[in-house]
Structure 1
Amino acid sequence: MTSLSLAEELVLLSYDDSGTATVASPELDYAVAGAVLCDLAVGGQISIDADGRVSADDVPDSGYVPDSGYVPDSDPGRGQGRKLLDRARTRIQAEPGRATRDWVVDLSHGVVDEVLGGLVASGVLRRERDRVLWVLPRTRFAPPDGVEPPAETATRRRLAAAERGAGPVGPRTAALACLLNALDVPDTGAAQPLDAQRHPSAVLGPAAWPIAATTDVVDGYRATVARGVFTATDVATGS
């Protein structure tokens, strides 16, 4: 069982065992920001109205909503993940009424680096610095013992169980699967849960808005890049 935040789980699944990202920025940054919003929404720490406007509820911190056997404080990474959620909630509380999509973009700045730093601090990953061809500096984030972290293994199993239909799919698991599919992350061990595909709002609950906003931002970025490539090609070919 894992008590990592969705942002931490998403980052772990987006890096291979060599410590290299399988998803480029800023797409991963957007998705991790969306994961932060999902955790806050599912945990009752923010509310999103029918127009997608976000505000912070005046409720005490109740931790994460149970999903597949969540156990508070069962993993050292929870403290780091909780800090990230608390900071995001404080920002939202100071600027109520902004659109979910805006928060996906704003919270994305530096969020992956922050999550990676937390995973390193908690011992889940190790920061390794070397050089490519003895010249170009490179930083990798690999498991300390060279094998998949137990928390990541637990996450993969949870996703696989959801795909098999082994019990109900919780909102956090459904949200994680949707984010992974939006990013086309390879080899996660499971595709999007069938229930989430057929009845996304019912399964995702309050995470539905952050998922929709994240998908919109990621797709918009990809479309912008594609247009840029086509324009550059037209200029180069004179067409």
Structure 2
Amino acid sequence: MESLSLAEELVLLSYDDSGTATVASPELDYAVAGAVLCDLAVGGQIAIDADGRVLADDNPTGGNPADDSQADDDPAGGYAPGGAPGRGHGRELLDQVRTRIQAEPGRATRDWVVDLSHGVVDEVLDGLVASGVLRRERDRVLWVLPRTRFAPPDGVEPPAETETRRRLAAAERGAGPVGPRTAALACLLNALDVPDVGAARPSDARHRPPAVLGPAAWPIAATTDVVDGYRATVARSVFTATDVATGS
């Protein structure tokens, strides 16, 4: 059974069952870009050098099961041993990003998070639609404004999303060790404040993030920095506008 990539899991958890996003752009875009980097890092496809530059591995392992917990190795919800995550288009996205990194060595992780964020959510959604996990629905709000929703085909939570929530819940209960993919997903959900995921903070990831995240630690740090930086910029803009409006 093919497993979802972290980007696919994150997008599923960021949309409600009506097909509406619960996280606004560009924060979701940054987090999904970070999720792509996390999958590549955990799979041994990319690494970071001593100067903080991202490099593609010339001899990728295609995934190292020793880096993940048993829960993450479950093909229904994690990194399949010896294989790459992603369903069709999701796997192609990982391959495309790795090829780009290989062609542009020496760029900082933060730069890649920002660069890859452009259009990445749309790419992931297209892949989920193509694989039948979601359905694209187009309608109009008040018969005027066009709207596109991405809802489950039968109106209920997709089985793939249910499996992801199960994995997060097991981590929260402390039911076995927490692998780097599950810990990375939890950290991304925390950074976005995604509502109602059921288990946003696996205990191991909360108390010992560097050890649990493993190769995903540096993409998570960069992604969190980008999201926090964007929020700080928005907050400063709001304060400035308020000061101007009030004459203070």
Task: Bin the TM-score by the shorter chain.
Answer: over 0.9
Q: Distance in 2 between matches of 1:153 and 1:38?
A: 21
In structure 2, the gaps of 5 or more residues are: none
Alignment of 1:35-184 (within 5 A): 35-60=35-60, 62-63=62-63, 65=65, 67-70=72-75, 71=80, 78-184=87-193
Partner of 1:22: 22
Shift of 1:52: 2.4
Structure 1 residues 193 and 106, CA gap change in structure 2 (3 angstroms): same
Q: Is the 8 A contact 2:64 2:82 kept in 1?
A: no
Shift of 1:73: 11
Q: Is the 8 A contact 1:195 1:203 kept in 2?
A: yes
In structure 1, the gaps of 5 or more residues are: none
Residue number among 208, 225, 229 corresponding to 2:238 in the alignment:
229
Shift of 1:61: 5.8
TM-score by length of 2: 0.92
Cα-to-partner distance string for 1:160-205 (whole Å, 9 max, x where unaligned): 0001100010100000000000000000110211111111111000
**2:146 is paired with a residue of what secondary structure?**
strand
Report sequence identity in percent: 88
Is 1:210 aligned to 2:219, yes or no? yes
Q: Distance in 2 between matches of 1:194 and 1:187?
A: 17
Q: Is the 8 A contact 1:53 1:99 kept in 2?
A: yes
Cα-to-partner distance string for 1:33-68 (whole Å, 9 max, x where unaligned): 000000000000001123321100011462575624
Q: Distance in 2 between matches of 1:60 and 1:175?
A: 20
Q: Is the 8 A contact 1:15 1:22 kept in 2?
A: yes
Q: Distance in 1 between matches of 2:192 and 2:178?
A: 20
Structure 1 residues 124 and 184, CA gap change in structure 2 (3 angstroms): same
Q: Distance in 2 between matches of 1:105 and 1:8?
A: 18
- In structure 2, what residue type is equivalent to 1:118? G
**1:25 is paired with a residue of what secondary structure?**
coil
Number of aligned positions between the proteins: 238
Q: Distance in 1 between matches of 2:15 and 2:39?
A: 21
Q: Distance in 2 between matches of 1:175 and 1:110?
A: 21
Structure 1 residues 23 and 117, CA gap change in structure 2 (3 angstroms): same
C-alpha RMSD over aligned residues: 1.9
Structure 1 residues 79 and 64, CA gap change in structure 2 (3 angstroms): farther
Q: Distance in 1 between matches of 2:143 and 2:159?
A: 33
